[in-house]
């Protein structure tokens, strides 16, 4: 596995859930985006759900948003990547940082009774294509299963600009942007 040179910066904001839902949550709009994703109906962390996503938000009073900016070195951003190379970089960097942040938020959940964390993106506990949802069986790791902001109808782009005062950048034509943003959070009672 290759080593990729990067640093991280952390951003946080705390907002009342009622305000967040009013400003940033549009379940029907984001459900349409989810339908276009390969993970739709294939992962337990992804829609459709057997519960009302907006009601899920409203069970909590406060949302602590956590953003991790992953800043790449010029060596990483200065070259072009094939699809396979890009996926290797994402696996090595983004998913590694996601696991670390996810574990931190799970620990915080244990310290704050009644809280629940939100993941950055889809679940990665199972190997690709092996989620038990495909066989209509219960999740193998229910204690680790967390939904993402976007799966629950949250607008991550707006969340990043409005509450973290940052901007999302995207991978374009095989080039890595200067940075990627990983957005998670924890819902508090």
Please tell me the predicted confidence (pLDDT) of residue 2. 74
pLDDT at 30: 93
Residues of the chain scoring pLDDT < 50? none
Question: Would you state the structure tokens that stand for residue 93, as one six-digit string?
Answer: 């960097």
**pLDDT of 132:** 96
- Can you give the pLDDT at residue 120? 92
Residue ranges per structural domain of the chain: 6-188
Where are any strands of DSSP class E within 17-134? Answer: 62-72, 116-118
Helix, strand, coil in percent for the chain, rounding step 5: 35, 20, 40
pTM of the entire predicted model: 0.93
| Of 90, 92, 74, 65, nearest in space to 11 by CA | 65
């Amino acid at each position: 596995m290759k080593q990729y040179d990067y640093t991280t910066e952390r951003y946080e904001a705390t907002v009342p859930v009622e305000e967040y839902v009013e400003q940033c949550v549009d379940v029907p709009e984001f459900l349409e985006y989810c339908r276009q994703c390969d993970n739709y109906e294939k992962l337990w962390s992804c829609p459709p759900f057997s519960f009302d996503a907006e009601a899920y938000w409203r069970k909590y009073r406060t949302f602590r948003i956590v953003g991790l900016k992953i800043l790449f070195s010029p060596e990483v951003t200065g070259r072009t990547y094939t699809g396979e190379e890009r996926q290797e970089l994402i696996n090595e960097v983004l998913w590694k940082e996601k696991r670390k942040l996810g574990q931190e938020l799970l620990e915080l959940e244990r310290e704050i009774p009644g809280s629940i964390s939100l993941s950055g993106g889809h679940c990665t506990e199972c190997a690709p294509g092996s989620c038990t949802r495909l066989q209509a069986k219960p999740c193998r790791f229910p204690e680790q299963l967390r939904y993402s902001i976007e799966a629950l109808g949250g607008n991550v782009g707006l969340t990043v600009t409005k509450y973290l005062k940052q901007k999302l950048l995207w991978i374009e034509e095989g080039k890595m942007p200067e940075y990627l943003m990983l957005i998670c959070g924890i819902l508090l009672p």
